[in-house]
Amino acid sequence: MSFIRPEVRDLLQRWSEVIASAVIMLVGLWFLFTDQWIWQGLGIFIAVVGAILGFAAWRRTRFASLTAGPGLVEVDERQISYFAPYEGGVVSIDMLARITAVAPVKGGGPDDLTWVLEEDGGVTLTIPNAAAGAQDLFDAFAALTDVDYSNAQRALEDRSGDSFVIWSKPRAALH
């Protein structure tokens, strides 16, 4: 028998990383307000680490799916795999040319967001945000430089079905 309602348990589970980061930051702030400078320095360090971890966790949680959707996403050794009943595929993080977030249509939410990963060789992998393991995509995207997370946020908030490029491979200039 559980004393916590299932909705509250699910909410706490979803935001658990953010809550843990806030606790780390509070411990750092507690050390910051002591009288000894060594503890204050340690407190600043702990608070900054908690803030950085909290920001990354908050960003991942915003895009977390609320329901179980079709398929499974796995990120393993710089390779993104998507397995689904009727579609799927594998792309290499090193071979990616572009990552696009397709906004949900009117009335949709984070579950209706779609990721389109394009490789240099023409392979395109479409992954619904509701797929199991899709939250690991943010960790995979962290390996890339200059990912525009603000465009991803705009795609999540937009309800027009438009595409937002969040990362594109820099092209070498010929001259």
Q: Is the C-alpha dihedral spanning 149, 150, 154, 157 positive or negative?
A: positive
3-state secondary structure of 159: coil
pLDDT at 41: 92
pLDDT digits (tens, 9 = 90+) for 63-87: 666 666 788 999 998 899 999 888 8
What pLDDT was estimated at residue 70? Answer: 83
Whether residues 24 and 49 fall in one domain: yes
Q: Is residue 138 part of a domain?
A: yes
Number of domains forming the structure of the chain: 2
pTM of the model: 0.69
Are 37 and 108 in a shared domain?
no
Predicted local confidence at residue 59, as pLDDT: 76
Residue 174 lies in a domain: no
Please give the residue range of the domain that contains residue 13: 6-62
Instruction: Give 128's Cβ-side CA count (13 Å radius).
Output: 19
Q: Which pLDDT score is estimated for 110?
A: 64
pLDDT at 35: 87
pLDDT at residue number 133: 85
- Interval 108-123: pLDDT, tens: 666 678 889 999 878 8
Bridge partners for 136 per DSSP: none
pLDDT confidence of residue 159: 74
